[in-house]
Amino acid sequence: MTLVSARELVTAASDAGTGIGAFNVIHLETAEGLVRAAALAGLPVILQISQNCADYHGGLEPIALASLALARRAEIPVAVHLDHAERPELVDEAVALGFGSVMFDGGALPYDENVALTAEVAARAHRAGVFVEGELGEVGGKDGAHAPGVRTDPDEARAFVAATGVDALAVAVGSSHAMTDRTASLDLDLIARLRAALRGAGAAGADVPLVLHAEDPADIEA
């Protein structure tokens, strides 16, 4: 077992009708703990390095190289993923460093700008064989799409995937970052409609998996 692409883990989970856990790395000790826990559970894991984490370390390279090295020595399959990158140049750096998957977060942009920029970033990443996650609905915000009644529209989601070519889509369905109490409630009906809308919507008719972002899954009421 060793470093793998998130594409492999997500595809396997989708085929099995399950999910795959992706957890944010803060420092090397976080990554070590996550890999050790995954090994004890006998399950694969995705290590996510966010733009905020890269900035905290003064750049992506130090924490990225450490996490990639840890993944290569792991007892179970481990993917290293760039999370919530709002700067295209950070995505390009992650691809150059050897990340197998990246997330470009244009969710805070107007729809047309999000589509245009995500498509450009995805095209460059795909030329390197990298799996790309896009965002529709400002999942990364502290309120925004998490405000009451704000959700990702299934028809818009399908159009977004077709226009950008992303391999996976982060959507707003009631989860929230930076929660201080247990007020988030997942819209399971919307999740089902989004899943149906993205079935066969990807390249060569592939299904496009949904990505759910949350501060702590234990704090979400389904």
**Local structure of residue 182 (DSSP, 8 states):** S
Q: Which of 127, 165, 123, 131 is nearest to 4 (CA)?
A: 131
Q: How many CB atoms lie within 10 A of CB 2?
A: 11
Note if 207 is an active site residue: no
Question: Strand, coil or helix: what is 78?
Answer: strand
* Cα separation, 76 vs 40, whole angstroms: 9
Structure tokens at 115: 């589509």
Whole-number CA gyration radius for the chain: 16
Q: How many CB atoms lie within 10 A of CB 121?
A: 26
**Local structure of residue 125 (DSSP, 8 states):** H
User: Is-contact 220 214, C-beta < 8 A?
Assistant: yes
Q: How many CB atoms lie within 10 A of CB 45?
A: 23
User: Is-contact 4 77, C-beta < 8 A?
Assistant: yes
Catalytic residue among 83, 167, 207, 216: 83
Which positions are annotated as active-site residues? 83
